[in-house]
Amino acid sequence: MSKLQQSLDAGHFTFTGEVGPPKGVDLTHVIEGAEAMKDKVAAINVTDIQTAVMRLGSLAVSAKLVERGMEPVFQMVCRDRNRLALQSDLLSAAVFGIENVLSITGDHIVKGDHREAKPVYDLDSVQLLKAMTTLEGGADMGKDFKGRPNKLEGAPKFFKGCVVTPCADFVEPQILKLEKKVAAGAQFCQTQAVYDPAAFETFMNEVRRRNITIPIMVGIVVVKGLGMAKYMNENVPGVVVPEAMMKELSETPKESAKAKAVEISARLIRAMKPMCQGAHIMPLGWDSLVPKIVDASA
């Protein structure tokens, strides 16, 4: 059982961090970032061709973290691989000792740097969770997604994660999708960025009302400044940086940006800690801030 699963199953408020693979093969900054946060988080997410920009894959970086004694969350997007490749990569992950897998549909190709590429989307995030559950197989010792009668020669075991957007314009579709993900086998959930604790509380009240019981970790994207906040408001669906926070950022000198980022992130976590089971901190390259955010959110 992964450290992440143990922590969440025990009811501890749990932190995860995140690193992004480089566009290239030099892992220096990724490893440094992971090392900086490893003692403060249960696991470290590794993004999978984030924002549809070509880069080193999540599987390779996750395997390298395992080699160094760190626990990854292997993010898998459905955009780039068909069901054959997705299942093959899941089996490969298990061979590398990777247990935590986060199922994501993935940003569309038009957001990236290879817009002429053909998106796949053979499976969606719900079906990918079902594929993981089928590969595990329970008492059946695992089958492929086709459901063939022959069993796998060794079945994997995953701690299966999903995502949700609590501050979407319409919450009901998010709740319905979350219910489908849980039914497909999701065991934990990390959310899209949340900057409005009141909106998150409304969402979590509905989650409880619908008796959705998997651990939910609130997503905290470290906001680097006013420009980033404006970009997120204008370009990231389901993410809203409140006007009061925008004003706060506008009054922050550039040399104080990192201190303000820690302050805001920790403040948000403290406000939402009673509502959820953990926080997923996405530092977007400011990896050294993660330990400070964790400490400040106590």
Q: Please compute the mean of the pLDDT values over residues 286-297 and round it to a whole number.
A: 98
Total domains, the chain: 1
pLDDT 10s digits, 182-230 = 999 999 999 999 999 999 999 999 999 999 999 999 999 999 999 999 9
Confidence category of residue 112, pLDDT binned at 50, 70, 90: confident
Phi and psi at residue 189, in whole multiples of 5°? -140, 135
Query: Across the strands, what pairs with 46?
Result: 19, 74
What local confidence, expressed as pLDDT, does residue 140 receive?
A: 65
Percent of the chain with pLDDT over 90: 87
pLDDT confidence of residue 138: 67
Biggest CA-to-CA distance, the chain: 64
The DSSP secondary structure of 207-239, one letter per residue, reads: HHHTT--S-EEEEEEPP--HHHHHHHHHHSTT-
Residue 254 per-residue DSSP state: G
248 burial class (0-12, 13-18, 19+ CB within 10 angstroms)?
Answer: middle
**120 burial type by CB count under 10 A (0-12 exposed, 13-18 middle, 19+ buried):** middle
User: For residue range 139-187, what is the model confidence (pLDDT) as tens digits?
Assistant: 666 888 877 666 888 999 999 999 999 999 899 999 999 999 999 999 9
CB-CB contact of 289 with 258 (8 Å) = yes
Nearest Cα residue to 251 out of 222, 284, 219, 229: 229
Cβ contact 27:64 at 8 Å: yes
* 36-65 per-position pLDDT tens digit: 999 999 999 999 999 889 999 999 999 999
The boundaries of the domain holding residue 20 are 3-296
Domain CATH for 225:
3.20.20.220
Q: Compute the mean pLDDT over every residue in the chain, rounded to the nearest whole number.
A: 95
